[in-house]
């Protein structure tokens, strides 16, 4: 479970997040929308443990971020989080299988079993026959599906997606969103999708709006 209560973040004395609270149960997938500059990425960075709040509490499966030092936060990110961002950081000098297997390598799992896991995910995103291809051979939509496979391969508890369909055509965007929602629900993970697109937001179980006052349905 992800618990956020009364989260606050200021930049140069200017409050961006004044009091943000939410709760996410296993298997739940929520979309967060809100005007440009309202603090969506700031919130996502805090949830990702990439930034520290000025007040309030964040806890994932009972682990309070405030009790974790930088090394423990890095471990939490590596072991429990999956990231799908628009700049998907697919590494050009690695094959698709190697890109997808990377989160398992980082956890010290290297070998045939890890490769099989990566292939299973590539299959799930419809790219089973492209495991040995290079990223430069892929379309934008295919690349985004590789990013999703990689975000899910280590069975993260929490998946964070920031405008994952930003530069996709409507048909590929719909495929990517369906896939993300299906995988989150099937694995009992939790998902947070930040998006400006009402259509993308509808692929989640519920939609929350971020305003200067906080998060509301
Ligand atoms: N590191 C930082 N230092 C100073 N100000 C920052 C920093 N990060 C974000 N901000 C400010 O906080 C506010 C919220 O930014 P944020 O990127 O979270 O908004 P957003 O809702 O994600 O916007 P968009 O939809 O346009 O991506 C903005 O005014 C931004 O300038």
CATH number, domain of 9, equals 3.40.50.300
**Residues 103, 150: contact at Cβ < 8 Å?**
yes
pLDDT number for residue 193: 95
pLDDT higher than threshold 80 for residue 88: no
> In this predicted structure, what is the pLDDT of residue 126?
86
State residue 12's pLDDT score: 95
Q: How confident is the model at residue 168 (pLDDT cuts 50, 70, 90)?
A: confident
Phi, psi dihedrals of residue 75, rounded to the nearest 5°: -65, -40
Flag whether 108 is in a domain: no
Look at residue 163 and tell me if it is in a domain. Answer: yes
Q: Is the predicted ipTM greater than 0.85, yes or no?
A: yes
Give the structural domain span for 208: 2-92+158-216
pLDDT of 132 reads: 97
Is residue 41 lining ligand 1, measured as CB closer than 6 Å?
Answer: yes
Domain count within the chain: 1
Does residue 82 form part of some domain? Answer: yes
> How many angstroms separate the alpha carbon of residue 94 from the centre of ligand 1?
33
**Distance from C-alpha of 208 to C-alpha of 217, rounded to nearest angstrom:** 5
Mean pLDDT across 86-111: 89
pLDDT at 139: 86
Distance CA(117)–CA(121), nearest Å, equals 6
Residue 99 lies in a domain: no
- What mean pLDDT, rounded, does the chain reach? 91
- Of the two residues 172 and 158, the one the predictor is more confident about is 158
pLDDT at 172: 78
Tell me whether residue 69 is in a domain.
Answer: yes
Are 193 and 180 in contact, with CB atoms under 8 Å apart? yes
Position 105 in a domain: no
Determine, yes or no, domain membership for 77: yes
Residue 150 has pLDDT above 80, yes or no: yes
Q: The whole model's pTM is what?
A: 0.89
Ligand 1 atom with least separation from CA of 43: 18
Q: Is it the case that residue 87 has pLDDT exceeding 70?
A: no
Q: How far away, in angstroms, is 149 Cα from ligand 1 center?
A: 28
Residue 34 Cβ contacting ligand 1 at under 6 Å: yes
CA 36 to centroid of ligand 1, rounded, Å: 8
Please indicate, yes or no, if residue 47 is contained in any of the structural domains.
yes
Lowest mean pLDDT, pick from 25-34, 55-64, 148-157, 163-172: 163-172
The protein residue with its alpha carbon nearest to ligand 1, atom 25, reads: 36
pLDDT of res. 86 = 65
- Tell me the C-alpha distance between 157 and 1, whole Å: 9
Contact by Cβ (8 Å): 13, 25: no
Q: Average pLDDT for residues 69-74, to the nearest whole number? A: 93
């Amino acid at each position: 479970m992800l618990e956020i209560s009364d989260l606050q973040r200021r930049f140069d004395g200017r409050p961006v997040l004044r009091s943000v609270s939410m709760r996410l149960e296993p298997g739940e997938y929520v979309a967060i929308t809100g005007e440009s500059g309202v603090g969506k990425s700031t919130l996502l960075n805090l949830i990702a443990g990439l930034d520290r709040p000025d007040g309030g509490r964040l806890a994932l499966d009972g682990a309070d971020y405030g009790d974790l030092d930088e090394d423990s936060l890095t471990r939490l990110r590596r072991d429990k989080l999956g990231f799908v961002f628009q700049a998907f950081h697919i590494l050009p000098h690695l094959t698709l299988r190697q890109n997808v297997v990377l989160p398992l390598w980082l956890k010290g799992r290297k070998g045939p079993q890890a490769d099989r896991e990566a292939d299973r995910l590539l299959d799930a995103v419809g790219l089973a026959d492209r495991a040995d291809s290079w990223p430069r051979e892929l379309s934008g939509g295919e690349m985004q599906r590789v990013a999703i496979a990689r975000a899910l391969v280590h069975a993260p508890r929490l998946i964070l997606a920031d405008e994952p369909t930003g530069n996709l055509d409507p048909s590929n965007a719909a495929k990517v969103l369906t896939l993300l929602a299906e995988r989150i629900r099937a694995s009992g993970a939790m998902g947070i999708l930040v998006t400006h697109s009402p259509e993308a937001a509808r692929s989640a179980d519920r939609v929350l709006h971020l305003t200067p006052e906080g998060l509301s349905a």
